[in-house]
Structure 1
Amino acid sequence: MQSFTPTHEEFTKRYATAIDTLCEIARAYFFSGRLNDAQRLLRTSLQLIEGSERELQHRLKLLILYGQVLVVNLLITRGSADLLFSTILNAKQIAEAAHDQQGIADALSLLGQAHNFATLVASLKNSVSPFSPQGQGKYDEALAYQQHALELREALHDTRGISESYFQIGVVYERAQQYDRSQEYYTKARQVADQHGYPFEKTEPTRHSSIHALRQGNLDQALTLALQALSLREEARFKPYLPLDHLLLRDIYEAKGDTANAQSHIEIASTIASEMGLTTLVSSMPNMRDLLATQQEGT
C-alpha cells in the first residue's frame, strides 16, 4: 500500500479549510442565538492553534469572530468586558504585525463597539442615563476608534464595513445627544446597505431611526421603522437582537395605547429570549420611553 504524505501547500490548504469550517459553525451558532456554544467552539479552536506562529492569519480570523460574539454577549448579558477587550486587543496586535489593513479596521471597529457597550452597560447597571451631553467625553474613545476604522475601510473599499462604521459613529453621536449628526450617519449607513444589499447592516440604523422618531413623539413613523427593522432582522436571520426589536415595538404600541399588540410583542420577546437561555433579558431591558424620559431630564 502506497503511503501518502501531504505537501506543505496541501497541509496548509487543509488547515485553512478546517478553520473556515469552524468559523462557519461558530457563526451559525452566533446568528441562531447559541452564544455559549459559539464561544465554546471559538475558544477550543483558538487553543488548538495556540503557539503556531505561521497560522497567525487563522488566529486573527477566529479572534475577530470571537470579538463579534463577545460584543453582543456583553450587551445582552451585561457580563464582564475584560475578556472582550483582551480578545480584540490580541486581534489588533496580530493584524498590525501582519500589516493586515482589513484586520486592523475590523479590530478597531470592535474596540469602538466594546467601549460603547461597556459604558452603556455600566450606566444601566447603575440606573443612570447612558446618554451623555456633548463635552462629557464618555464616548470619546468609541468615536475615535470608529472614525479610524472608517478611514481604513474607505481606503479598502469595504462597503459592508463602511456601512457598519457609519452606523457605529451614529450611535456615538446619539449617546452624546447630537441627534442631527446621528441621523446623518444612520442615513448614510442605510444608503450603503441598500445599494449593496446588506440587510444585516441596514437593520440597526433602521431600528435606531425608529427610536429617534419615538423620542420626537412621531409614533406612526416610529412604528413603521420598527417594523422594517424587525423584518430586516428576520431576513438577516440574526436571532440575538430579535427580543430587542419586539421590545421596541412593545414600547411604541404602549405609547399608542394599543395594549393588545404591546402584550403580544413582549410575549414574543420573552419566548425568543427563553429559547436562547436568556431568561432575564426582557426584564433587564428598560422601557425605551422611560430611558428617553431620563435622558431628557438630564439634558
Structure 2
Amino acid sequence: MHYYQNIQKGIQGYAEARTTLQQAHELYAGLGTTEGAAQTLFYIGLTYEREDDEEKARAYYQQALEIARSYDYKWIISEATRHLSGLAMQKDADLALRYALESLRLRSEIGFKRTLPAAHLLVSAVYTQRKELDAALEHCQQGRHLAEEMGLRSAIMNSLLTLGEIQQQQAAFEEAQASFEAAAQMAQELKIAYAISAAQNSLEQLARQKAQRKLELDKHN
C-alpha cells in the first residue's frame, strides 16, 4: 500500500516509481505471482494518470483489470474500475457509471468501509455528469454520512465539493456557494492543494454562472 499512498501524494517521483514498479512487475510475472503482477500494473497506471497521460494510464489499468478478473482479485478490480471510471467520465458516461457501480459494490462486499465514502462520491459525480441529480444527491448524502461517521475529514470535504456541483446544476446558486466555501475552508485547514484549487475554480465558475443568469434576467425585465 505504501506505493499507492506515495504516488497519490506525489511523494515519490513518478518516473522513479515506474522504474521500480516495472522491475517488480517483471519479477512477479517471472515467478507466476499473478496478484503482484496485477498490482504493479495498476500502480504503473496510477503514475501515468498523475502525469495526465490518460491513454497510457488506461492501458495499464485495463491490463491490471484483465488479470484481476481472471483470478477474482476483488481489491484490484475495485481500484482499477474506480480509476477507469474517472478516465471515462467525460467521454462515456455509461461506461463510467458501470465501472463506478462495480467498484462500489466490490468495496461493500470486501468490507473496505473507509473507502466507501469515496466510492459513493464517485458514483454521485458520474450521475451528476449524466444530469441524474436525484441519484447523484442520494449517493452524495450516503458518502457524506459514512465520512462523518468515521471522522474522515477529507472525504467530508470532497462530499461538499460534490454537493456544490449538484446544487449548481439545480440552479441553487446560494446553496452551491455555501457548499464550495465550506469545502474551501476545510481544504485550507487540511492543506490539500488539489482541493483548494478545485474549490476556488468551482467558486469562480459559479460566480460567472450567477452573473450570466443575472444578465439574462435583466434582459427580460
User: When the two structures are superposed, what TM-score results if normalisation uses the length of structure 1?
Assistant: 0.50
What CA distance in whole angstroms lies between the structure 2 residues aligned with 1:152 and 1:164? 12
Give ranges in structure 1 of 5+ residues lacking alignment.
1-67, 69-109, 121-136, 295-299
- The amino acid that maps onto 2:112 is F
**Unmatched segments (≥5 aa) in structure 2:** 166-193, 199-221
> 2:137 maps to which residue?
263
Please give the secondary structure, in 2, of the residue aligned with 1:241.
Answer: helix
Q: In the alignment, does 2:51 pair up with 1:172?
A: no
- 1:138 is displaced (CA, Å) by 4.9
1:208 aligns with 2:99: no
Distance (Å, rounded) in 1 between the aligned partners of 2:35 and 2:155: 29
Matching residue of 1:230: 104
Q: Trace 1:30-45 onto structure 2 (pairs within 5 A).
A: none
Q: Report which of the two has the higher share of helix.
A: 2
Matching residue of 1:119: 10
Length, aligned pairs only: 166
TM-score (norm. length: structure 2)? 0.67
Which contiguous aligned blocks of 4+ residues in structure 1 show a shift greater than 3 angstroms? 284-287
Matched, 1:191 2:66: yes
Cα distance change of structure 1 residues 234 and 228 upon mapping to structure 2, 3 Å threshold: same
Q: 1:114 to 1:200 in 2, by over 3 A?
A: closer
Aligned residue identity for 2:101:
L
Q: What is the alpha-carbon distance in structure 1 between the residues aligned to residue 77 and residue 150 of structure 2?
A: 23
Larger radius of gyration: 1
Is the contact made by 2:127 and 2:136 (CA closer than 8 Å) also made in structure 1?
yes
Indicate the residue corresponding to 1:273 in structure 2: 147
Q: Which amino acid aligns with 2:57?
A: S
CA deviation string 1:28-67 (max 9, x = no partner)? xxxxxxxxxxxxxxxxxxxxxxxxxxxxxxxxxxxxxxxx
Residue equivalent to 2:204: none
**Corresponding residue of 2:208:** none
Determine what percentage of the aligned residue pairs are the same residue.
31
Higher relative contact order (CA 8 A, sep 6+): 1
> Structure 2 vs 1, CA of residues 264 and 114 (structure 1 numbering), >3 Å: closer, same or farther?
closer
Matched-pair contact (CA < 8 Å) for 1:115–1:142: no
